[in-house]
Amino acid sequence: MPKKKSEPEKKSKEVKATKLAVKDSVAAKKPSPKKADTKKSSGSKLTGKKKPTTKRSMFSAHDIALRAYFIAERRQRMGWSGDATSDWVEAERQLTSDAKKK
């Protein structure tokens, strides 16, 4: 004798079937994505000048490291808190500031 399905089981299967049908119809209605323009402009449309891609440091890593070393020495002597990363960032800031003054 076949097993009778309970009312909740029938409803859950109907709900699943309905959700799948809706999902398929929505997917069918969506337009296909348009191909992106493969041409990339390297500059401004108005001026025709190329935009800089990255900000390059005018200073070598050795210059920054040397300044960061002296910053760290002073920081430790004065008992201020900080770390090597903050010393490096401060060294870059100071070197950039000094270069702008000249």
31-88 confidence digits (pLDDT tens): 555 655 555 555 555 566 665 554 566 899 999 999 999 999 999 999 999 999 999 9
Domain of residue 71, residue span: 58-102
Residue 44 lies in a domain: no
In b/e form, how buried is each residue of 65-97, taking b as 16+ CB within 10 angstroms? eebbeebbeebeeeeeeeeeeebbebbbeebee
Tally of domains in the chain: 1
For 48-61, write each residue's pLDDT tens digit: 666 555 456 689 99
Average pLDDT for residues 94-98, to the nearest whole number? 95
Task: Answer whether 71's CB lies under 8 Å from 91's CB.
Answer: yes
In 38-95, at which residue ranges do the beta strands (DSSP E only) sit? none
Please give the Cα distance from 73 to 67 (Å, whole number): 10
Inside any domain, residue 64: yes
Decide: pTM greater than 0.75: no
Across 9-19, average pLDDT: 60
Residue 77 located in a structural domain: yes
User: What residues contact residue 7 under an 8 Å CB cut-off, 6+ apart?
Assistant: none
